[in-house]
A and B are shown apart, each in its own frame.
Chain A
Amino acid sequence: MIMKFWIYQDGAQKGPFTVFELFEKNLTPQTPVWCEGMDKWRHAGEVPALGPLLDGNRDFYLSESGMGEVKAEDTNLSAQTACETPAAEPVAAESEAPGVNPAPQAAAQPAAAVRPAKSRPDEPCPPTYIGWSVFLTVCCCSPISIAALVCSIFVPSYYNKGKLDKSRRASEIAAWLIMIAIALGMLPVMLMSAIF
């Protein structure tokens, strides 16, 4: 799978880009970057998979995985290593979030202008699992899949308001409800196939 990156540059979020497209974007180690699998926006310098990019080493991506592919593991690695760093470090990185001016007058600016990457991340909407819910309404356990459908309404709703945490939470609850519905509904089918 080809990883797509979003960047924050010149006061706006841009993306998705392949790693080769990023070569034309003049990234610095301080440019905020995000791709799927990363827990939050990070400076390009903190993402190991982008090291050769910052060095201008285009051949690395050609030789390593062909076709401009950056493996998901490389970016996951970055998320893990970031977790192992002392707590103070991520906090510091957060306070240096894109466009944040450490000077006091920054607080007077509109929140959206100050912290765009936090208030409206250009991250894809979390899954709603609506397809599964629709399936399960006709397969088994309709009441639970109705509850999952209600939950999934909140996923794009919160996402469009920029409340990514709540959107993710709704997505997780929907996923759990669907798994419960599958367990309650599919197990009898499996038993049936074994017994009669």
Chain B
Amino acid sequence: MATVAATVAAVAFIAFVYYTRDPASAAAPKCMFRLLTGWDCPGCGAQRALHAILHGRVAEAWGYNPFLFFAVPAGVFFIVVEGLRTRYPRLHRAVINEFTICAVLAAVLAWWIFRNL
């Protein structure tokens, strides 16, 4: 219960911050990887995409970082499955194993390379 409350509070706080502030401004935090190398990281564009989504501009968000639309639901799904692993051990075994983690890793790396081509 406390976990759920904390999660809701954190999501609401982040949503508020990104609704009211424009990440395109100069003061917004910049990706360290991009500053150092000049290449995009897998998450680059996520702040602008979040800002756009919160203002109802889904297509614009997709343009900033389409990977976000898969990674966020997948992340939530994995966290929930792992949190309930004692209650649903078979589901946990089916969803979280070496192969799925390798697949996720491969997907992230492929997206990272692809977006910098």
A contacts, CB < 8 Å to B: 4, 16, 36, 124-125, 127-135, 137-143, 146, 149-150, 152-153, 156-157, 160, 184, 188-189, 191-193, 195-196
Q: Which residue of B lies closest to A154 (CB)?
A: B98
Cα–Cα, bound, A175→B32 (Å): 21
Q: Mark out the residues of chain B between 80 and 109 whose CB falls within 8 Å of any chain A CB in the assembled complex.
A: 80-82, 85-86, 89, 92-93, 96-98, 100-102, 104-105, 108-109
For the residues of A in contact with B, the DSSP-based class is helix
Whether A149 touches B104, Cβ cut-off 8 Å, given contacts A135-B75, A157-B98, is yes
Q: Which 9 pairs, one residue from A and one from B, show the smallest C-beta to C-beta distance?
A: A131-B78, A131-B79, A188-B29, A196-B27, A138-B43, A134-B75, A135-B75, A142-B41, A193-B17
Contact A131 B43 (CB under 8 A): no
Q: Which listed residue (A135, A142, A192) contacts B29, Cβ 8 A?
A: A192
B25 and A196 contacting across the interface, CB-CB below 8 Å: yes
Give 24 pairs: A residue, B residue, CB < 8 Å, sorted on A: A130-B96, A131-B77, A131-B81, A132-B75, A132-B79, A133-B104, A137-B71, A138-B43, A139-B43, A140-B31, A141-B32, A142-B41, A142-B43, A143-B33, A149-B108, A156-B97, A157-B98, A160-B97, A189-B29, A191-B29, A192-B29, A193-B13, A193-B17, A196-B25
Task: For B71, list chain A residues within 8 Å (CB).
Answer: 134-135, 137-138
Q: Can you name the residue of chain B whose Cβ is closest to the Cβ of A157? A: B98
Given contacts A36-B86, A138-B68, A193-B17, contact A131 B75 (CB under 8 A): yes
Chain B residues positioned under 8 Å from A132 (CB to CB): 75, 79
- Please provide the chain B residues from 1 to 26 with a CB less than 8 Å away from any CB of chain A in the complex: 13-14, 17, 21, 25
Q: Is there an interface contact between B29 and A128, defined as CB atoms closer than 8 Å?
A: no
A186 to chain B, nearest CB (A): 9
Q: Which residue of B lies closest to A143 (CB)?
A: B33
- Chain A residues, Cβ within 8 Å of B77: 131
